[in-house]
Amino acid sequence: MGVLIEKLHARDAESLYKFELENRSFFEKMVPTRGSEYYEFEIFKERHETLLNEQADGISYFYLIKAKSGSILGRINLVDIDRPQKIAYLGYRVGQMHTGKGVAKKALKLLLETLTDLNIKLVKAKTTTDNVASQKVLENNGFEQTESNGEEFEMNGQRLKFVNYIFTNSSLA
């Protein structure tokens, strides 16, 4: 499957909203809920604008993962960028119908290729101990596990921990 990443734009609000609605229950099995308010379109549009402002300010970069046809397959982001330290935090999610097809792996590879242009040296990521697929995506793209946070939390009736990863952009190291 051909995959590309494209920076988030104002025109994406409606299609992204539909994507989030369609995948809500799937995402909420893996990450804490964003709350029902998030799924009210007017509030979603306000949050979308906030993300665009963060992107314009260089605080974060938000990308849509798309098929060559233009349909949204997922999202991938670099957030909370520390400019002096050149550190960013990674987040991504792929829609339920597109998991297991290498979409996240390809999108992350594309994102990592932008790091030098964005002047980012280190990317930090975390996933849960039960999310083996996400761990494989990170490791297959050169992320190294740094630690497993010893603090447990409960999500969807399971006791979980976070597993932390880092990626070093050797072009800026």
* pLDDT at residue 128 is higher than 90: no
Residue 114 has what pLDDT?
95
Residue 156 has what pLDDT?
61
* pLDDT at residue 31 is higher than 80: no
The CATH number assigned to the domain holding 136 equals 3.40.630.30
Residue 49 lies in a domain: yes
With contact defined as beta carbons under 8 Å apart, do 3 and 103 qualify?
A: yes
Residue 152 lies in a domain: yes
Residue 56 has what pLDDT?
96
Range of the domain at 59: 3-168
Residue 173 lies in a domain: no
Entry pTM: 0.89
DSSP alpha helices (H): ranges in 32-171?
A: 41-56, 103-112, 115-118, 132-140
Residue 70 lies in a domain: yes
With contact defined as beta carbons under 8 Å apart, do 61 and 118 qualify?
A: yes
Q: Into how many domains does the chain fold?
A: 1
Residue 8 lies in a domain: yes
Q: Once rounded to an integer, what is the mean pLDDT over residues 94-121?
A: 95
* pLDDT at residue 73 is higher than 90: yes
